[in-house]
Amino acid sequence: MSEFDAITLTKLGSPYRTTSILTVPQNKTLVVEPGVTVQFDSNSSRLTIEGTLSAVGASDKKIVFTDGPSGDSVWCGVKFTPTSSNSILDYITIEKAWGACGGGLSHSLTVDGSSVTLKHATLADSGWNNHVYLKNSNSLIDSVTVSGADKPGQGILIEGGSPTIQYSTFSGNTIGIWNNWGTPTISSNTFTNNTYAMKLSSSAASVSSNTATGNTYNGIFVEGAATADLTWQADTMPYIMNTFTVKAGKKLTVQAGVAIKFASSTSNLRVEGALVAEGTGASPVVFSPLSDGGSWKRISFEPTSTGSVLTYATLKYGGNSNLDDEASLYINQSSVAVSNVRVENSFKGAVRLIVGDISGSQLTLQDSGFTFYITGGCPPVTQVAIEGAGGFHVNSEQCVF
């Protein structure tokens, strides 16, 4: 293509077939007309865009990038390099792109250090690979159907950048969307029959109006640790965790209306920095087990923790372990300010305080094995209400609130 500024693949010449790597050089444009099919008939063939790809189909004339005519070959997908720009892919299908490229696994669509607009697209049957890999990319993904990345694979893997993913459907993938790192905006998407609908690894995302049904984990699965300040926004899906740590000097802000679900009886949130739960009377922050009848371990505030505030927060069915002093709120040589906080149905205990401090007011403890286990002095919290079963632990200092 180096001799021309642009080349057009016309519908009249379709289908097109290649067994090699097709490259669009920097500052050059490949135009693909509606209804064109491009066949990649080798497990090392690929379309590499260093310039611009304009593949704009129509609802009744989709552009198809696929394997060879025999139907038994696989290929290496479409890759956009850091020099590519202004590419638009609309009403396209990318399928069967899971060849062994360069000795490793490929992706149906890779955007590396650049951005594309991908709309009304279907990405299917990626085998072992990810469908879309966004690396340091601010791409727009809009009204896309992503399925079949399940051996295992991700519908979309994000590593850097601030892409927008909206109005899309993810089904039959190991992970629908995985934000390994980056600051994506993810809204109005539908997740069905994936293992994980969405996963955040030591990261956050701007999320809204997403729905998840029929997945193993119907929510936003969080893992790792907050190694920078993070904010979890409310969505129609809950956040789900096994174990998550807020590192010293960092802050996790949980906005009003967020539901946090603990995946097992050993799940816990460990706060070495600060946890700020910003609930309201109408939209509290709720911590509870993932499954009905389940339980979880604790939210622990460690000696390095400072600046934690719980406002209009409810903790349900925590405090479960073999430890005699286990509690839903476990405050160890640190402090927490509370306002309108409820701790309900704790298995062992509601609050464990070890040479620590609870300030604020309106703390309600309901139906717990014990309400308080305090060593190191009574805290200044006021307006404490005890409802139902539970009293001070036998070894606790006896306090009057």
- Of the chain, the end-to-end C-alpha distance in Å amounts to 80
Around Cβ 154, how many Cβ atoms within 10 Å?
Answer: 27
Chain mean pLDDT for the chain: 94
Q: Is the pLDDT confidence value at 125 over 90? A: no
Q: Is the pLDDT confidence value at 103 over 60? A: no
Hey, what amino acid is at 282? A
- pLDDT one-digit tens code per residue, 227-236: 999 999 999 9
Q: How confident is the model at residue 128 (pLDDT cuts 50, 70, 90)?
A: low
Q: Specify the pLDDT at position 73.
A: 73
Yes or no: say if 219 and 234 are a contact pair by the CB < 8 Å rule: no
- pLDDT one-digit tens code per residue, 351-368: 999 999 999 999 999 999
Cβ-in-10-Å burial (0-12, 13-18, 19+) of 322 comes to exposed
- pLDDT one-digit tens code per residue, 307-337: 999 999 999 999 999 999 999 999 999 999 9
pTM for the whole thing? 0.94
Cβ-in-10-Å burial (0-12, 13-18, 19+) of 293 comes to exposed
Q: Is the pLDDT confidence value at 122 over 90? A: yes
- pLDDT one-digit tens code per residue, 42-68: 888 899 999 999 999 999 999 999 998
Yes or no: say if 88 and 117 are a contact pair by the CB < 8 Å rule: yes
